[in-house]
Structure 1
Amino acid sequence: MIAQQAQALSNWGASENNQIYDREIAALFEQPRIDPLSHYLEQHNNDESRARHLRRVLEERERRCENIAGEYAAQAKTAANLSRFSRGYDYSCPAQVQRFAEQIERPTPSSAAVLVSTTATPQPRAHLPAPTASPTASTQLERQQVNNCYLLFTIKNYRQAQDACRAPAEAGDAKAQYKMAVIANALKQYPEALKWARLAAKNTAEGRYQLGLLYYRGHGVEQNHAEALKWYEQAATQGLASAQYQSGRMYAQGQGTAANPRKARSRLSQAANQGHREAQTRLGHMYLAGDGGTADVTSARQWFLKAARQGAAEAQYQLGQMYARGQGVPQNNAEAYVWLSLAEQSGEAQAAPLLERLRPEIDEAQIAQAQQNVRKTLESQR
């Protein structure tokens, strides 16, 4: 029973968001137009928390576009029909509009127009270009390709994202170049990852971060922690939270540089204040131990709470220990048990032995009250 309650509490935050997202796309699917689906995809194409919902909306948009394309496929392949198709659907279905345009027969001059004197020098037969979708449709196709690049990257469909991102990356889109670097690294195409990271690093903090990551891991290039830190620092100075976290971690551990706890705390604070949960957890440890500055158990608890609210198992575990020990909070085995149960559900293996020790000391009523307290604490961080 207690385990089930802990599981329900651990799923609470995520399920609340999912219910909101479910209602959003239910409303989208109830209305018949396609453009609102495209607007949703473009608005949220970088939101990983919506990955499952983005995938569903993308599939629904493609289904509707193909249905419309099927209706036009039964009509005459004329410039007039192309114009109607383009006017109505070039924003959301540019690929289908382009496909229709390619089916229109290439016009040729009339036989009267090509009659020439038998004594004249024969001229090559004129070939006129086939009708194409309007410039607007062509622009929409490029726009949707870029959006699909970002969208497929967010939902981690890396094979298709690589295809979608290649053209905009080759055209100089720095965000697409960064995504190509990440994708190639994930697919273990390390020379390709290095090529795109170097291009993206010229114009984006994300590109500099990714180049630092490749140097840190030795992917496609000789491992070099000092070089990795250089690129992380450049991205961190531009305000990128992930780079601030990595720089802070390297300063704390003395990787690529002499250990510098003060710099570590400074960089981790920057990342933590942007909501980076790993930075929040590590910063909590630094405040607890007094690394890089004064020890402050209250600040440590606050940072652990922020990270725990985002599902960080280690932070949930640390809060459980603090309640079990009465460290900075009143000692409370029931609340310790709830936090540790959350940590275990989130994948923290160290929680199990402490849970086993605490279990005989608490009852169901204490757990129920502790769950209410923990939920209120989590809600206060929203």
Structure 2
Amino acid sequence: MHVFPATLVVGLLAFSLSGCSSLPDREQVWSRSSEFFSQSAEVLKAQRKRLANFAGSLVTSKDDEARDEEVSALFAQPYIDPLTRYLEERSDDDRFAAQLARVAEERGRRCEEVADTYADRAATLDNLQRMRRGYLYSCPTEVQRFAARVDSGKNTDAKVSRPGSNEKTAQAAKREAQIKNPTTSPVSSASNDQPDTEMEDALSRRQHSDCYLLFTIRNNTQALEACEPLAAAGDAKAQHHMAQLALMGNDTAAAADWARQSAGQKYAPGQLTLGQILQNGQGVAKDPIRAHGLLKSAADQGLAEAAYYTGLSFQNGTGVSANAANAKTYLEQAASSGHIPAYFALAELHESSAPERARYWLDQAARNGSARAQYLLGESYAKGTHGEIDHEAAYVWYSLALLNGHDPAKAGIERQEQLLTSSQLANARSRVEDGINGRWD
């Protein structure tokens, strides 16, 4: 269920706190549009500040509440591995960005506590094995550091009388290098100068997870550091992230290069990024034909954003012959994932041939919180451009658009109010409140 943004809810609360605890008659203070809009920006700003914390609790969606409850449950239990599994399972889902940042911070704190605990313990193989069993999955860097202490202690003991100490010193040096650069292969404390594949896997898994996580939570500086060695080693997702980070930094040549490498592995987001780069000519010559092929390939793998751009290519004849049926197919594919720009594109596609469908797609975008769609839907009902005129519905959608920050809706509300009876107006305002709370007819 969708819940509208804080600006919308706070706007309505502001009017409620100015003396409107129930639906008023037409003669009452906020029944007049001119008075409804006359409250100054300064007053609204002050009310928003005063109500921010209260309103914030109202606009949290059910999904966000469920995510926060899940995180609270994770924090309530004492183990680290469930936090790591949470991070790995959701590391590339930006809907969880806020929760991911919190869980990553908590995981880091718990790993630091583990490191502090073992810092006070003897650097023995028994303690190392105990630490590995309990914490290698979630805290491989901390385990690796303790292993370096163990190796260092072994080397100190061996220096005076035993041959082979040079080999052990080299082993400790390699382990220290591994701590500084996790892409090098670790060596095992259990055997002389043999690769520690278990440690290697744990460090690699952590580095991949960190790259994806940092990109998702938009910690770009650290994401760049974590992703670059993975991308250079051929990881397609890391290459895509590097391309996006390069675009953010306006390094279009590097972006095109990384995107080309990612797309070359048929990685759908990499194909999408390269397709957009080729369409726009960012750091490369424009190539709309190749761009369309890449976008379509990514769309056929189920990527909603790519389906949207593929639909536009078919709609506009960019890099391919215009084809309304194909445009509709790909745009509907994108819309099925809640892609709001696809709703607008479908409304435009049906504007002339099936205006009632155009209204339907505007309605979908409006219910998903688009202020522009809410305004256009108000216009549609007010003017009858996509079906029957409905002044009450027009008032509702204009009001939601205004409360969602779309100021041009003010004039529409004033016009519709003059056309509604008192009972219609009261019903319309009740529907506005329902819309704010995600309750639709």
TM-score range, shorter chain: 0.7 to 0.9
1:241 aligned to which of 304, 313, 325: 304
Aligned-pair RMSD on alpha carbons? 3.2
Q: Match of 2:116?
A: 70
SS of equivalent to 1:336: helix
Return the letter of the residue paired with 1:370: R
Q: 1:2 touches 1:367 (CA, 8 Å); kept in 2? A: no
2:247 aligned to which of 185, 200, 205: 185
Deviation (angstroms), 1:340: 2.7
CA distance in 2, matches of 1:302, 1:12: 28
Deviation (angstroms), 1:62: 0.8
Q: 1:233 touches 1:247 (CA, 8 Å); kept in 2? A: yes
Deviation (angstroms), 1:103: 2.9
Q: Structure 2 length normalisation: TM-score?
A: 0.73
Give per-residue Cα distances to partners, 1:122-144, cap 9 Å, x unaligned: xx963222375753233122112
Give per-residue Cα distances to partners, 1:88-132, cap 9 Å, x unaligned: 111111122122222331634464444xxxxxxxxx963222375
Deviation (angstroms), 1:284: 2.1
Give per-residue Cα distances to partners, 1:196-216, cap 9 Å, x unaligned: 111111121221111011112
Q: Which runs of 5+ in 2 are unaligned?
A: 1-8, 16-47, 49-53, 173-186, 190-195
1:310 pairs with 2:381: no
Query: Superposition pairs for residues 111-126 of structure 1, below 5 Å?
Result: 111-114=160-163, 126=166
Give per-residue Cα distances to partners, 1:13-70, cap 9 Å, x unaligned: 7533222222221222222211121122222222222211111111111111111111
CA distance in 2, matches of 1:347, 1:71: 53
CA distance in 1, matches of 2:388, 2:10: 22
Say if 1:72 and 1:359 are closer, same or farther in 2 by CA, change over 3 A: farther
Q: Match of 1:22?
A: 68
Give per-residue Cα distances to partners, 1:160-215, cap 9 Å, x unaligned: 11222222222222122112211211222222211111111112122111101111
Q: Match of 1:107?
A: 154
CA distance in 2, matches of 1:195, 1:355: 51
Q: Structure 1 length normalisation: TM-score?
A: 0.83
Deviation (angstroms), 1:275: 3.1
1:95 pairs with 2:173: no
1:159 pairs with 2:221: yes
CA distance in 1, matches of 2:376, 2:225: 43
Return the letter of the residue paired with 1:285: E
Q: 2:159 touches 2:165 (CA, 8 Å); kept in 1? A: no
Number of residues paired by the alignment?
Answer: 366
Q: 2:87 touches 2:213 (CA, 8 Å); kept in 1? A: yes
Q: Match of 2:104?
A: 58
Say if 1:206 and 1:224 are closer, same or farther in 2 by CA, change over 3 A: same
Q: Match of 1:117?
A: none
Moved more, 240-249 or 195-204: 240-249
Q: 1:338 touches 1:367 (CA, 8 Å); kept in 2? A: yes
1:143 pairs with 2:205: yes
CA distance in 1, matches of 2:81, 2:165: 43
Moved more, 249-258 or 202-211: 249-258
Q: Which runs of 5+ in 1 are unaligned?
A: 115-123
Return the letter of the residue paired with 2:80: I
Deviation (angstroms), 1:349: 5.3
Say if 1:90 and 1:300 are closer, same or farther in 2 by CA, change over 3 A: same
Percent of aligned pairs with the same amino acid: 38
Q: Match of 2:331?
A: 268
Deviation (angstroms), 1:346: 4.5
Say which structure, 1 or 2, has more relative contact order (CA 8 Å, 6+ apart). 2
CA distance in 2, matches of 1:212, 1:349: 36
Q: Match of 2:348?
A: 285
